[in-house]
């Protein structure tokens, strides 16, 4: 079903951003085939006749050469467009329906069956060649945006370009642009998503423990940490994202030092990718979050860490956060009682420090279990924001290659409608 959702992203892109619904009809196929032939005819016949003329401005060698170059470019673009149309999911569905149609044999159907056979065999050969070359065949970008707050702060603090942007009053825009990247979706992502969706089987759709409402609360309850860490998911969404992001980075830094050869290293990498992705949405695409989540907390935290703390590297900053968290953990009062008395600018940083230190303390003996808890929290946050993202925001991102959260939203909709009942997930919502 994950693969089906990937194909659906491609099909939806064709509906919203291309002429696919028109191209993949019998007259659309004819136009697509005749168009490059017409351009070739123009190149070989019309301008060949003009090039034989000795007089006239339009017949100079420069003009003729330039025109031929433009025509060759047009032919190449038409061929590329034709190949993309032939090997798209639309074409495969169109040719397959023609092959299995029950209508009587006709010339048009025979042509479509022939095209289906050619395209299918060629597609299989291309797939085999791409697999041997280590190039996965995808129907969308297959990537996730990445924005790591620790790396942003440590690099922008010493970057001349960031200082210039700060002087111009464009530091936030510049840092979001420069310190944002992308990475391929981890190989174990779909398995983690499936495991998380199964956790909500049988739960009441209106309950806070349901995957569409939880935001990490259900994961904390399942693992026995709700009483101590519920405050970290009960706060505003944008602040909860930042608190868990910093705490996750701090914990994974410690985990990498203590368990570098652990079998859970792949899970740790996936957790970091998930954490960076959610913060990427907050920093670069807040319109993808529920209710157009405010970036104000993110901006305040950037100002706090970049301009009011002293450190020289990412390791120094992580150490500073850990020390602050250890102090808060030994101060006595609960984080909710003590931290709410602090200034607004320090609140998010202190909460993140407290959570990071808490995860390390409790993960000393159960590191793998703590990794599992963190992964579940991030996956629940991803499911929450994916399902509650506005449909027009999902559609908007199709033009940029699509978002993994759109696939998550599609799968959750499958669950809600009982589409996946054949694999034992009926009555999911």
Token pair recorded at residue 63: 């003009």
pLDDT value of residue 375: 94
Give the pLDDT score at 100.
57
Whole-Å CA distances, 110 to 27, 95, 96, 103, 122:
15, 10, 12, 11, 18
Percent of the chain with pLDDT over 70: 76
Q: Is the pLDDT of residue 111 over 70?
A: no
Gap between the Cα atoms of 40 and 59, Å rounded:
19
pLDDT of residue 19: 77
Tens of pLDDT, residue by residue over 169-195, are 888 888 888 999 999 999 899 999 988
Each as own residue / partner, the long-range contacts of residues 312-317 (CB below 8 Å, 24 or more positions apart, any chain) are: 313/154, 314/150, 314/151, 314/154, 315/253, 317/150, 317/153, 317/154
- 300-306: average pLDDT: 89
Greater model confidence, 57 or 107: 107
Report the C-alpha dihedral over residues 36, 40, 45, 47, rounded to 10 degrees.
Answer: 100
Whole-number Å distance between alpha carbons of 127 and 149: 38
Rounded to 5 degrees, what are φ and ψ at 292?
50, 65
Q: At 127, is the pLDDT very low, low, confident or very high (cuts 50, 70, 90)?
A: low
What tokens does 413 get?
């909709």
Inter-residue contact 248 to 271 (CB < 8 Å):
yes
How far is the C-alpha of 81 from the C-alpha of 348, rounded, in Å? 50
Q: Is a pLDDT exceeding 90 seen at residue 282?
A: yes
Q: At what angle do helices 296-308 and 265-284 cross, to 10 degrees?
A: 110
Beta carbons of 40 and 75 less than 8 angstroms apart: yes
DSSP letter at 182?
Answer: E
Domain ranges within the chain, ordered by starting residue: 2-132, 143-423
- End-to-end CA distance of the chain, in Å? 17
Residue scoring higher pLDDT (120 or 163): 163
pLDDT of residue 96 exceeding 90, the answer is no
pLDDT confidence bin for 381, thresholds 50/70/90: very high
Tens digit of pLDDT for each residue in 187-232? 899 999 988 888 877 666 677 778 888 888 988 988 888 888 999 9
Q: What is the pLDDT of residues 244-279, one digit of tens each?
A: 999 999 999 998 887 765 556 789 999 999 999 999
Provide the pLDDT for residue 421.
Answer: 61
Mean confidence (pLDDT) of the chain: 80
pLDDT classification of 427: cutoffs 50, 70, 90: very low
pTM score, two decimals?
0.80
Distances 34 to 31, 37, 38, 75 between C-alpha atoms, Å: 5, 5, 6, 11
Burial 120-156 (b: 16+ CB within 10 A, else e): beeeeeeeeeeeeeeeeebbbbebbbbbbbbbbbbeb
Q: Which of 193, 196, 186, 71 is nearest to 136 (CA)?
A: 186
Instruction: Quote the Cα angle for 251-252-255, to 5°.
Output: 90
For 51, the token pair is 């090039």
Average pLDDT over every residue of 403-423: 81
Contact 321, 356 (CB under 8 A): yes
Q: What is the crossing angle of helices 2-17 and 189-199, to 10°?
A: 100
Tokens 């002293």 sit on residue: 310
Structural element, H or E, at residue 184: strand 181-184
Q: Judge residue 240's burial from the number of C-beta atoms within 10 Å of its C-beta, 0-12 exposed, 13-18 middle, 19 or more buried.
A: buried
The string of pLDDT tens digits covering residues 341-379 is 455 557 899 999 999 999 998 876 676 788 999 999 999
C-alpha count within 13 angstroms, C-beta hemisphere, residue 313: 3
């Amino acid at each position: 079903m994950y693969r089906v959702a990937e194909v659906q992203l491609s099909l939806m892109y064709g509906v919203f951003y291309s002429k696919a619904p028109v191209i993949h009809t019998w007259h659309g196929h004819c136009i697509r085939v005749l168009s490059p032939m017409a351009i070739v005819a123009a190149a070989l016949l019309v301008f060949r006749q003009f090039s034989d003329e000795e007089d006239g401005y339009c017949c100079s060698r420069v003009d003729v050469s330039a025109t031929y170059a433009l025509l060759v470019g047009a032919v190449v673009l038409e061929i590329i467009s034709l190949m993309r149309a032939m090997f798209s999911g639309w074409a495969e569905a169109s040719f397959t329906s023609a092959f299995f149609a029950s209508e009587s044999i006709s010339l048009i159907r025979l042509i479509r069956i022939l095209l289906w056979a050619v395209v299918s065999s060629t597609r299989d050969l291309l797939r085999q060649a791409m697999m041997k070359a280590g190039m996965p065949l995808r129907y969308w970008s297959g990537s996730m945006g990445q924005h790591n707050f620790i790396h942003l702060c440590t690099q922008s603090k010493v970057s001349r370009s960031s200082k210039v942007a700060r002087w111009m009053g464009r530091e936030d825009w510049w840092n979001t642009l420069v310190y944002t990247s992308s990475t391929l979706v981890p190989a174990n992502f779909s398995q983690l998503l499936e495991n998380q969706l199964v956790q909500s089987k049988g739960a009441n759709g209106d309950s806070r423990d349901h995957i569409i409402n939880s935001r990490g609360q259900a994961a904390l309850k399942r693992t026995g940490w709700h009483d101590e860490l519920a405050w970290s998911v009960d706060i505003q969404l944008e602040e909860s994202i930042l608190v868990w992001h910093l705490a996750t980075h701090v914990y994974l830094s410690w985990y990498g030092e203590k368990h570098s050869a652990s079998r859970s290293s792949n899970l740790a990498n996936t957790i970091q990718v998930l954490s960076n992705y959610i913060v990427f949405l907050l920093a670069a695409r807040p319109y993808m979050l529920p209710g157009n989540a405010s970036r104000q907390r993110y901006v305040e935290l950037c100002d706090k860490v970049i301009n009011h703390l002293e450190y020289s590297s990412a390791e120094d900053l992580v150490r500073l956060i850990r020390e602050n968290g250890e102090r808060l953990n030994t101060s006595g009062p609960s984080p909710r009682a003590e931290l709410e008395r602090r200034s607004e600018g320090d609140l998010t940083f202190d909460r993140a420090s407290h959570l990071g230190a808490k995860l390390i303390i409790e993960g000393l003996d159960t590191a793998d279990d703590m990794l599992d808890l963190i992964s579940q929290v991030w996956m629940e946050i991803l499911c929450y924001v994916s399902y509650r993202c506005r449909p027009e925001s999902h559609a908007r991102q199709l033009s940029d290659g699509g978002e993994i959260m759109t696939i998550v939203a599609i799968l959750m909709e499958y669950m809600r409608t009982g589409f996946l009942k054949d694999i034992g997930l009926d009555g999911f919502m």
